[in-house]
Structure 1
Amino acid sequence: MNEKNDLTKKKLDLYDTLFSQDTIDEILNQAESFLQNPIFLLDTSYRIITRSKYAEAENSSIETYNGENYLIFDTINLMQKSKCIDTIYNTSNSFFHYSEQNLIFCSVKINNITIGYIGVLESIRKLKESDLEYTDILSKVLSIQIQKENLFISNSGLAEEYYLVDLLENKIDNLEYFKKRLQFSKFNLEENLLMLSIPFKQKYNDFRHNFGLQQLINQLKNILGNSIAAYYKDMIIILVSNSNEYVITAEDSLLEFLKLNNLKCGISFVFKNLKFIKDFFYQTIYTLKLSSSMKSSKHIYYFDDYVEYYMFYMASNSNNDLYKISLENLIHPFLRKLIDFDKENKSDLYETLKTYIENNRNANETSHKLNIHRSTFFYRLNKIQNLFDISFDSTNKLLKLELSFKLLTYNQLIN
């Protein structure tokens, strides 16, 4: 049998694995028997989803973290510098990549969205031209099998998605390691962070419309600016980061977008430490749940407006499986800002506001308790309002701050 006929038979055999084999691993091992070289299947965050039998012994460019295997940073840097990653995303065909190690790369696409890619490493047999054609077929077969296994069904096809989901599911618990991996995305980790969740049902039968989901996410990111997004638990979730303390600087545009697409959005407190991202994600979840129970008809819901209702809900619910947000992350971020400002400037604004609220917003009583003149008190109060662009005219705002003062005091007592 000549080489061309042999290749045709091998390709048919590979297609046949869709009916004769049950898993991606079995398909990779079948492909390996022809390519005679290790085969890797990676996702777009450089994590190795699975690999063929020969590939199990190839660990020179791989590091293991929390039970997951990733390409090492040096290898990723080389792939980016040589534009290899760009080629993977921009073409559907296999191609040779020559460096310290010779490889074949090929993207794996679903609905024209790159959800991963194949790497064939020249290790046992020299790579040849016909291997490209065979790897093209392998890519198509894996795409079909992945859809059969629903392996990527919750994903939007965005490269950054895996970073956010891994963080939420504690697959990466070392923040420094996570930050290093983020360097390979377009997301900049700024001082202020915010979580958003937007319910959007994406059933498996509708997966062919995934392009629409990706478009929604891209439009949201254009509005929100520096952010990473994922499709997770039937929701579009977005982590936004900004040096501006308000984080979302185009709120009107966000509201118009949500109205136009008939979507609702839960928004967390502003936070600074990625370590607590899960708490702030669940702030958005409980905000959406509570707003629905209270039959609110808005499009944007802030956890700021539902903190006390969350506490009532948790106190009245006997379900021990409910996720509990830590007390520390229920405290209004405004108080954190006030504390930080006092430390940096050796001022007493936090104590001034706390005493004012504890004394029923009575200026005379507050001045007496702080042992300062009334004019000094009003100077401090105005300074707080001007510095942080906040008004104390709203009784509801002061009640929320009073609750946070009590939470902060209680949290300090129990710790």
Structure 2
Amino acid sequence: MQKKNDLYKKKYEIYNSLFTENSIDGILNIGENFLGNPIFILDTSYRIITRSNLAKLDNSSIETHNGESYLLLDIVQLMKKNKCIDNIYNSNNAFFHNSDEVLIFCSIRINNITVGYISVLQSKREFNAEDLELTNVLSKVFSIQLQKENLFISNSGLDEEYYLTDLLINRIDNIEYMTERLQYINFNLHKNLLILSIPFKQKYKDYRHNFGLTELIKKIKTILGNCISTYYKDTIIFLISNDHNDVINDSLKQILLEFLKLNNLRCGISIVFDNLLDIQDFFNQSIHALELSASMKKDNNINYFEDYIEYYLFNVSMHTTNDLYKINLLTLVHPWIKKLIKFDDKHKTDLFKTLKTYLENNRNANDTSIQLNIHRSTFFYRFNKIQSLLDISLGSNNNLFKLELSLKILDYNTLTSTTIVNSV
């Protein structure tokens, strides 16, 4: 009975530290008094937010970059290998972890989003079952204190929110003006753009008071690199820009996918584009990718609109009301086609014409060569050049279907408009 009362008193003291200490470090020291071992508080990028007095004496697992302390990369890799990171994200309670050393880990959650975690190192005394309960309480107290100390996102965050929301809501007619405005925030406008949208229901009317949401935005921005974000219609929206053809390359995709899985999130991604004037169409592409994948019961964390173009067209034809945002047809043209046209224009080549003729001739090399009045070897040179330039296989039925669909869109537009190539 006495032991139970002692545990209750310790828990009460930790909860009460929210009022008596009112700081992360103060609360941490109260926790260390009861746990009797070094305590580290880390965010999800393995940066050490703070550490207790005993923990400050141990630098064997820490490296410093730009004034910030992080776990050594070897330790991070070991934690991933033995599924420790997965356990932190998937468990709501503290747990023991045995490797070269014995530790306690416990996630710190805000609005069910893991924003950090507690690590307690067994070095001064051996752990007992009571330590898990105390760590659980410490996690809840840190969740509250973190929200108290981080009520608002930064000024630059607010600026970029207004910029991106303005781009999404208001029809833009002056690209020079918008480009000039974007120079005043920490965002570089490169040749390729992409919209990524993540559905997220926030619990507060003013999302700036939602620490879990703002932390989530910060983590994803760290992954994506050069981007700006906003929160609009229960959706976190990112405008990403760089010089990569895919914008989100394979290595970046893997990091993003891991983060989305760990936090049980989904995202929709638009086709790559290069004109801010079309941003509303591409934003809606990302939303349609999410909606179509859900209606088709595809349980994907990452959903590319380019994989749903034909289904979007089916959906438009079946939609009987006027509440569906209809995307400009030319924004549905695949980036591969756009890339070929731009390459031809710059290098005075005929790759686009060669591909179009090849597809129109039922993928027959001989017939294509005859129609283009070129030697077969010239055709195969162009054929391989197209594959190399686009980094795809023209033997893939899926790739060929995407290309043929884009050509159909361009053909249709030719019959109804006189500005085609310049538009793409």
Indicate the TM-score class for this superposition, using the shorter chain for normalisation: 0.5 to 0.7
How many angstroms apart in 2 are the aligned matches of 1:187 and 1:297? 32
How many angstroms apart in 2 are the aligned matches of 1:244 and 1:111? 34
Q: Confirm or deny: 8 A CA contact 1:363 1:377 kept in the other structure.
A: yes
SS at match of 1:321: coil
Q: Confirm or deny: 8 A CA contact 1:196 1:267 kept in the other structure.
A: yes
How many angstroms apart in 2 are the aligned matches of 1:251 and 1:344? 30
How many angstroms apart in 2 are the aligned matches of 1:165 and 1:207? 14
Measure how far apart 1:182 and its partner are: 1.3
The structure-2 alpha-carbon separation of the partners of 1:159 and 1:363, relative to structure 1 and needing over 3 Å to count, comes to: same
How many angstroms apart in 2 are the aligned matches of 1:208 and 1:247? 28
Q: 1:212 corresponds to which residue?
A: 212
Offset from partner CA, 1:149-192 (integer Å, 9 cap, x none):
xxxxxxx9643111000011117542222222212100001100
Moved more, 242-251 or 340-349: 242-251
Measure how far apart 1:207 and its partner are: 5.3
Q: 1:272 corresponds to which residue?
A: 274
Measure how far apart 1:280 and its partner are: 0.1
Measure how far apart 1:239 and its partner are: 0.3
Measure how far apart 1:301 and its partner are: 0.6
Offset from partner CA, 1:293-344 (integer Å, 9 cap, x none):
0000111010110000000000111112211001111111111110111111
Q: Does 1:289 align with 2:291?
A: yes
Q: 2:232 corresponds to which residue?
A: 232
Q: Confirm or deny: 8 A CA contact 2:152 2:209 kept in the other structure.
A: no
SS at match of 1:160: helix
Q: Confirm or deny: 8 A CA contact 1:226 1:242 kept in the other structure.
A: yes
Q: 2:93 corresponds to which residue?
A: none
- The correspondence of residues 71-110 of structure 1 with structure 2, limited to 5 A, is none
The structure-2 alpha-carbon separation of the partners of 1:233 and 1:110, relative to structure 1 and needing over 3 Å to count, comes to: farther
Q: 2:152 corresponds to which residue?
A: 113
Q: 2:372 corresponds to which residue?
A: 370
Amino acid at match of 1:394: S
Moved more, 182-191 or 166-175: 166-175
Q: 2:347 corresponds to which residue?
A: 345
Amino acid at match of 1:113: F
Amino acid at match of 2:202: Q
How many angstroms apart in 1 are the aligned matches of 2:364 and 2:159? 55
The structure-2 alpha-carbon separation of the partners of 1:364 and 1:172, relative to structure 1 and needing over 3 Å to count, comes to: closer
The structure-2 alpha-carbon separation of the partners of 1:165 and 1:188, relative to structure 1 and needing over 3 Å to count, comes to: same
The structure-2 alpha-carbon separation of the partners of 1:377 and 1:343, relative to structure 1 and needing over 3 Å to count, comes to: same
Q: 1:159 corresponds to which residue?
A: 159
Q: Does 1:393 align with 2:395?
A: yes
Q: Confirm or deny: 8 A CA contact 2:153 2:208 kept in the other structure.
A: no
Offset from partner CA, 1:4-25 (integer Å, 9 cap, x none):
xxxxxxxxxxxxxxxxxxxxxx
Amino acid at match of 2:204: Y
* Identity level (%): 62
Amino acid at match of 1:162: Y
Measure how far apart 1:112 and its partner are: 2.5
Measure how far apart 1:201 and its partner are: 0.7
Offset from partner CA, 1:101-127 (integer Å, 9 cap, x none):
xxxxxxxx99521577xxxxxxxxxxx
Measure how far apart 1:202 and its partner are: 0.8
Offset from partner CA, 1:56-102 (integer Å, 9 cap, x none):
xxxxxxxxxxxxxxxxxxxxxxxxxxxxxxxxxxxxxxxxxxxxxxx
Q: 2:316 corresponds to which residue?
A: 314
Q: 2:192 corresponds to which residue?
A: 192
Measure how far apart 1:242 and its partner are: 0.2
Q: TM-score, normalised by structure 1?
A: 0.62
Unpaired runs of 5+ residues, structure 2, are 1-147, 418-424
Q: 2:338 corresponds to which residue?
A: 336
Measure how far apart 1:376 and its partner are: 1.1
How many angstroms apart in 1 are the aligned matches of 2:208 and 2:159? 19
Unpaired runs of 5+ residues, structure 1, are 1-108, 117-155
- The correspondence of residues 395-414 of structure 1 with structure 2, limited to 5 A, is 395-414=397-416
Q: 1:359 corresponds to which residue?
A: 361
Q: Confirm or deny: 8 A CA contact 2:151 2:208 kept in the other structure.
A: no
How many angstroms apart in 2 are the aligned matches of 1:193 and 1:157? 20
How many angstroms apart in 2 are the aligned matches of 1:335 and 1:115? 40
Measure how far apart 1:214 and its partner are: 0.9
How many angstroms apart in 2 are the aligned matches of 1:369 and 1:208? 62
Q: CA RMSD in A?
A: 2.1
Q: 1:149 corresponds to which residue?
A: none
- The correspondence of residues 128-207 of structure 1 with structure 2, limited to 5 A, is 158-170=158-170, 173-204=173-204
SS at match of 2:210: helix
Q: Confirm or deny: 8 A CA contact 1:113 1:157 kept in the other structure.
A: no
Offset from partner CA, 1:248-299 (integer Å, 9 cap, x none):
1311101111111111110000000000000000001111100000000111
Q: 2:22 corresponds to which residue?
A: none
The structure-2 alpha-carbon separation of the partners of 1:214 and 1:114, relative to structure 1 and needing over 3 Å to count, comes to: closer
Amino acid at match of 1:387: L
Amino acid at match of 2:165: V
How many angstroms apart in 1 are the aligned matches of 2:228 and 2:201? 20
Q: Confirm or deny: 8 A CA contact 1:157 1:214 kept in the other structure.
A: no
Offset from partner CA, 1:331-387 (integer Å, 9 cap, x none):
111111101111111111001101111111111121122121211111100011112
Q: Confirm or deny: 8 A CA contact 2:153 2:214 kept in the other structure.
A: no
How many angstroms apart in 2 are the aligned matches of 1:207 and 1:325? 29
SS at match of 2:257: helix
How many angstroms apart in 2 are the aligned matches of 1:200 and 1:235? 5
SS at match of 1:237: strand
How many angstroms apart in 2 are the aligned matches of 1:339 and 1:157? 37
